[in-house]
């Protein structure tokens, strides 16, 4: 029967109601039948006259993760993920294929040179794509070519720039696959223990870490992992997206340790280098005067130039994780990362939480005065002239320029690009002194430069 020939559900209901007086059934039975008919015809009407497939035929798109006691299903899932990652790995260019690609590009360069760089035109670019093989095809797109254009009068791109782009993409895919092997949950993120395992197995492949004692490995891994989690997990969820790890520069810094000729300056500025890790751990040991493996408030007060205010240190021990009132190495690392990177939003978030004593989400005059009083007390102890809080408060608000003239939010601090200066003024006498004497310091620097140039 066609759709036009089928009776409308409303007509059927009307006929049923018209004959209801002749029906000897009870009122409940009639209502039940009416409800059944209404449901049937309404469902058909909403489904487009019965032409659509029933919902049961929709392909399944969600698969529940196997429970902990479903060992067989878990093993099956792990094996299938391993096979998938191996297949993806085989799709990447290996060293020989990259070398062949370089020779092809060099063979198809188009004169003249741009400075010392070999160039390639779009026509030659397409010729290389056809000869390079299926694995390379995704790199040779018009979009990629357009992105690499850089004011060449002949409309060409640099062969070196393109090859570096390919190398970078291959490296990213290789690294993503490598990190995914440690993703136990298979959900695209790494837990702290997953990242610890990754870095621990990475250590033997990094020549710059050859001198590390094996007894120090656990401390090194803890030091390295904390930087990832401090900056990439601001909500402290205990996991980081693999995509975020690849997008930041930390992995580049870590893998820079493969370079056997890394300069001393680069090692000192790299958080993941052996000298840097030993420096941080050495500072921790030096602060731990009673050698119990933990830091008390008094021991932490000697951190850096020993000029952090007691009020700020009180807040650190109130808000941060401690054990019987003492701080462990992991908590200390967060503290160090925050104070050594005060320009970074994650570090400002850490310090802002400590400054926000009323937990209102902003700093007001009371909050600023609460912390600056401790600075004033230290100034008096050093026999220096007292500084007016009103002047400092006005300078802070002038620097930050918050949306609300009476409240400074974390976002205001970040947007002002003055967050490091503001926090230093409030928590560290040395930081305040540096700010207060900034003009004298700049003048002295200029005088030193002039003397050196003579």
230 touches 346 (CB < 8 A): yes
The whole-number pLDDT of residue 100 equals 94
The answer to the question of residue 404 being in a domain is: yes
Residue 39: inside a domain: no
Q: Quick one: CA dihedral 351, 193, 235, 172, positive or negative?
A: positive
Q: What distance lies between CA 22 and its chain's CA centroid?
A: 75
Read out DSSP for 6-24? SPPHHHHHHHHHHTGGG--
What is the domain-level CATH number for residue 246?
1.10.238.220
Q: What is the CATH number of the domain that holds 345?
A: 1.10.238.10
Same domain, yes or no: 267 and 189: yes
| Residues 222, 330 contacting (CB under 8 angstroms) | yes
Domain end residue (candidates: 131, 148, 180): 180
How far, in Å, CA of 300 to CA of 339, rounded? 13
Residues 301, 313 contacting (CB under 8 angstroms): yes
- Is the pLDDT at 6 greater than 60? The verdict is no
Q: Are residues 227 and 257 in the same domain?
A: yes
What is the number of domains present in the chain? 3
Q: pLDDT digits over 99-153, tens only? A: 999 999 999 999 998 888 999 999 999 999 999 989 999 999 999 999 999 889 9
Question: pLDDT for 420-450, tens place per residue?
Answer: 999 999 999 999 999 988 776 555 555 454 4
Residues 138 and 174 both lie in one domain: yes
Cα pseudo-dihedral 407, 412, 416, 422, rounded to 10: 60
Same domain, yes or no: 271 and 352: no
Residues facing 240 on adjacent strands: 190
pLDDT of 7 strictly over 80:
no
Q: Looking at the DSSP assignment, which residues form a beta bridge with residue 190?
A: 240
pLDDT tens column, 270-309: 999 999 999 999 999 999 999 999 999 999 999 999 999 9
Average pLDDT over residues 343-356: 96
Residue 205 lies in a domain: yes
247 in the same domain as 337: no
Q: Are residues 347 and 436 in the same domain?
A: yes
Is position 29 within any domain?
Answer: no
Domain stop point among 138, 162, 180? 180
Is position 302 within any domain?
no
pLDDT at 52: 53
The pLDDT tens digits for 165-193 are 999 999 999 999 999 999 988 889 999 99
Pair (367, 273) in one structural domain = no
**Domain residue limits at 154:** 71-180
pTM: 0.78
Tell me, yes or no, whether 275 and 319 share the same domain: no
The answer to whether 276 and 265 have CB atoms below 8 angstroms apart is: no
175 plus 199 within the same structural domain: no
Instruction: pLDDT band for 16, please (50, 70, 90 cuts).
Output: low
Same domain, 79 and 199: no
- Give me the chain's average pLDDT, please: 88
Indicate the Cα dihedral angle 165, 166, 170, 171, nearest 10°: -40
In a domain, 61, yes or no: no
CATH, residue 76:
1.10.238
Q: Which domain-ending residue is among 180, 211, 231?
A: 180
Q: Is residue 380 part of a domain?
A: yes
**Cβ-based neighbours of 333, under 8 Å, separated by 6 or more:** 222, 223, 226, 230, 280
Between residues 26 and 355, which one has the greater pLDDT?
Answer: 355
Q: Does residue 52 sit within a domain?
A: no
Quote the CA–CA distance of 158 and 368 in Å, as a whole number.
54
The rounded distance, in Å, linking the Cα atoms of 12 and 2 is 17
Query: Do 241 and 314 fall into the same domain?
Result: no
Kindly state whether residues 348 and 260 are assigned to the same domain: no
């Amino acid at each position: 029967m066609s759709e036009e020939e089928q009776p409308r559900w409303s007509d059927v209901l009307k006929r049923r109601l018209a004959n209801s007086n002749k029906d000897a059934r009870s009122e409940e039975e009639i209502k039940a039948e009416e409800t059944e008919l209404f449901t049937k015809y309404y469902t058909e009407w909403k489904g487009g006259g019965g032409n659509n497939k029933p919902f049961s035929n929709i392909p399944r798109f969600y698969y529940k993760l196997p429970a902990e006691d479903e060992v067989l299903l878990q093993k099956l899932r792990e094996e299938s993920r391993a096979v998938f990652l191996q297949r993806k790995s085989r799709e990447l260019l290996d060293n020989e294929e990259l070398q062949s690609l370089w020779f092809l590009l060099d063979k198809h360069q188009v004169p003249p040179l741009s400075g010392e760089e070999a160039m390639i035109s779009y026509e030659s670019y397409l010729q290389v794509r056809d000869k390079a093989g299926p694995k390379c095809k995704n790199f040779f797109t018009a979009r990629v070519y357009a992105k690499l254009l850089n004011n060449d009068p002949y409309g060409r791109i640099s062969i070196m720039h393109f090859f570096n782009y390919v190398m970078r993409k291959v490296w990213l895919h290789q690294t993503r696959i490598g990190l995914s092997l440690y993703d136990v949950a298979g959900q695209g993120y790494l837990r702290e223990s997953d990242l610890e395992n990754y870095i621990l197995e990475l250590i033997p492949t990094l020549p710059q870490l050859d001198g590390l004692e094996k007894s120090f490995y656990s401390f090194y891994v803890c030091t390295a992992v904390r930087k990832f989690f401090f900056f990439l997990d601001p909500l402290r969820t205990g996991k980081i997206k693999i995509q975020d790890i690849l997008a930041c520069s930390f992995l580049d810094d870590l893998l820079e340790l493969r370079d056997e000729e890394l300069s001393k300056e680069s090692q000192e500025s790299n958080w993941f280098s052996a000298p840097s890790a030993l420096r941080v751990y050495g500072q921790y040991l030096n602060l731990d005067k009673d050698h119990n493996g933990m830091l008390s408030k008094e021991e932490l007060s000697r951190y850096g130039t020993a000029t952090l205010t007691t009020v700020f240190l009180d807040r650190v021990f109130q808000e941060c994780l401690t054990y019987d009132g003492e701080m462990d190495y992991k908590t200390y690392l967060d503290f160090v990362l925050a104070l050594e990177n005060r320009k970074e939003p994650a570090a400002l978030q850490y310090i802002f939480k400590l400054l926000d004593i009323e937990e209102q989400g902003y700093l007001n005059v009371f909050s600023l005065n609460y912390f600056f009083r401790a600075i004033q007390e230290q100034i008096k102890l050093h026999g220096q002239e007292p500084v007016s809080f009103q002047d400092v408060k006005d300078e802070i608000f002038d620097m930050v320029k918050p949306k609300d003239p009476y409240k400074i939010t974390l976002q205001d601090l970040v947007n002002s690009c003055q967050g490091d200066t503001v926090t230093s003024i409030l928590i560290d006498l040395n930081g305040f002194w540096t700010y207060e004497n900034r003009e004298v310091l700049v003048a002295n620097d200029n005088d030193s430069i002039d003397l050196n140039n003579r």
